[in-house]
Amino acid sequence: MLDTLKKLTGYVSPAGNEENIADYIKAELGAYVDEVTTDPLGNLIAHKKGAGKKLLFAAHMDEIGLMVTYIEENGFLRVSALGGVSAYTALGQRVTFKNGTMGVVGTGSKTDPKDCKLSDLFVDIGAFSREEAEQMVQIGDVAGFVGDFSIFGNCVCSRCLDDRAGCAVLLEAVRQGKDSPNDLYFVFTVQEELGLRGAKTAAFGVMPDYGIALDVTRTGDTPDSKPMAVSVGKGPAIKVKDRSVVAHPSVKNAMADTAERLGIPYQWEVLENGGTDTGAIHLTGGGIPSGCLSIPTRYIHSPAELCAISDLENSVKLLVGLMERAW
């Protein structure tokens, strides 16, 4: 699974530009499911047929990034955010455009770095005039942040574990899952970072009996962090609430029961800010009972996010248990 995760983090797929990573996931899924389709927005929907309840599992393929809005006379790029990009975190980072062009994020001397807004930043792609820059990028081109994939201690540190960690866990659960009494849909969604957009149409298209998203969640276990009862390494987190959803009791309890039955450690998650695809899924049609399995992750939306390998492995076990459970 770590090998798959490493490959997944190698794709640059800012929201709305997920085709490349979708192709990779589609090829990986092929042997394990009955059918893989792509919906009009670009969501990848894999179906493993079964007679029982219709279950939808979702992980998002997109990542936060930058979009070129304007090219200065001297070749510097002005950018706007795709999703939750912090100017402070972006400053000094390298970025890669989809066509391979690289750049570094800088700012003028007028603003203290801590007060920087995205509009104070520019991207330097090594071009010295607008004409030269236009040979390399166009208005509307998108870039992702550069960040190596490393393993240290019992943890993985990489760019966009949000939500490649969820994608890797879902892919691995599909590989390991055997006979399920349920009708399973594995959905790799687009544009989560822009407001859960892909999950909205995917859930409507599938109209499942139950929905479960897989995503990262923040933790309260670093020095001086804001109190939160989730720690890296203490098992997958079962979402109770975030700003987009209150998890349905039937799904939340099924997740906890399954974890207990299989001896998997777990933690309850109440996330005060942020949302996940669960938020879009549960409001679909006449309403879909939904929950979320979260991977505790530090430094979310930075180029060096960190999670525990044991949490990834336990998330796979829990997911397989949920797929095979009688709902």
- Please give the positions annotated as active site: 192
Cα 23 to the center of its chain, rounded Å: 17
Cα 92 to the center of its chain, rounded Å: 23
Question: Which of the listed partners (Co ion, Zn ion, none) does 18 bind, with a CB threshold of 5 to 8 Å by partner kind?
Answer: none
Q: Which stretch binds Zn ion (CB under 5 A): 18-26, 108-116, 208-216, 287-295?
A: 208-216
Tokens of 320: 């397989």
In whole angstroms, give the CA distance from residue 251 to residue 293. Answer: 10
Nearer to Co ion, 162 or 172 (CB): 162
Question: Which of the listed partners (Co ion, Zn ion, none) does 305 bind, with a CB threshold of 5 to 8 Å by partner kind?
Answer: none
Q: Enumerate binding residues for Co ion (CB under 5 A).
A: 162
Distant-in-sequence, close-in-space partners of 286: CB < 8 Å, separation ≥ 6 = none
Question: Which of the listed partners (Zn ion, Co ion, none) does 242 bind, with a CB threshold of 5 to 8 Å by partner kind?
Answer: none
Nearer to Co ion, 141 or 162 (CB): 162
Nearer to Zn ion, 183 or 305 (CB): 305
In whole angstroms, give the CA distance from residue 77 to residue 133. Answer: 8
- Of residues 211 through 240, those in contact with Zn ion by CB under 5 A are 215
Tokens of 58: 């979702």
Cβ atoms within 10 A of the Cβ of 236, count?
28
Instruction: Write down the least CB distance from residue 301 to Zn ion, Å.
Output: 9
- For position 28 contacting Zn ion by CB under 5 A, the verdict is no
The residues facing 211 across adjacent strands are 56, 290
CA proximity to 217, closest of 259, 161, 168, 175? 161
Instruction: Write down the least CB distance from residue 254 to Co ion, Å.
Output: 25
- Of residues 142 through 181, those in contact with Zn ion by CB under 5 A are 162-163
Question: Which of the listed partners (Co ion, Zn ion, none) does 63 bind, with a CB threshold of 5 to 8 Å by partner kind?
Answer: none
Q: How many residues bind Zn ion (CB under 5 A)?
A: 3
Nearer to Co ion, 15 or 127 (CB): 15
Q: Check residue 14 and report its DSSP letter.
A: B
Q: In what order do the strands lie in the sheet with 150-152?
A: 150-152, 155-158, 305-308
DSSP class per residue in 130-155? HHHHHHH--TT-EEEE----EEETTE
| Alpha helix stretches (DSSP H) within 65-190 | 87-90, 130-136, 161-176
Nearer to Zn ion, 90 or 123 (CB): 90
Question: Which of the listed partners (Zn ion, Co ion, none) does 215 bind, with a CB threshold of 5 to 8 Å by partner kind?
Answer: Zn ion
For residues 308 to 327, the per-residue mask of contacts with Zn ion, x marking binding by CB under 5 A and - elsewhere, is: --------------------
Instruction: Write down the least CB distance from residue 285 to Co ion, Å.
Output: 25
List contacts with Zn ion (CB under 5 A): 162-163, 215
